Amino acid sequence: MDIMQVIKDQIENNDILLYMKGSPNQPLCGFSARTVQAVMDCGQKFAYVDVLSNQDIRANLPKYGNWPTFPQLWVKGELIGGCDIVTEMYEKGELKTLLEEAAPAE
């Protein structure tokens, strides 16, 4: 499957998806660490992709989303942004609301 199709499928099939360096339990850069902490503090389940272990995704996701850096938070198929945007939204209380609305009902 074409890597752009793989990325598209990941984004479409996960309501909350974080492309990051490392994993939520072991982020491998400060920006990913701050972003994943903000997302986890909101209390919703989310999927993640480690771009360090997925070189094709790391190389092509910036073209797909027209966003050059990592991490990248996608919610309901829409790019929310990177560390600064996610952190700012978290501090304002906007991130929790966004993620609660996006999370599938249990």
SS3 54: coil
Q: Give just the sign of the alpha carbon dihedral 16, 20, 26, 32.
A: negative
User: Does 2 carry a binding-site annotation?
Assistant: no
User: Does 42 carry a binding-site annotation?
Assistant: no
44/104 Cα distance (integer angstroms):
9
User: Does 84 carry a binding-site annotation?
Assistant: yes
User: Does 8 carry a binding-site annotation?
Assistant: no
User: Does 29 carry a binding-site annotation?
Assistant: yes
SS3 73: strand
User: Does 70 carry a binding-site annotation?
Assistant: yes
Write out the binding residues for glutathione. Answer: 21, 58, 70, 83-84
Write out the binding residues. Answer: 21, 29, 58, 70, 83-84
Write out the binding residues for [2Fe-2S] cluster. Answer: 29
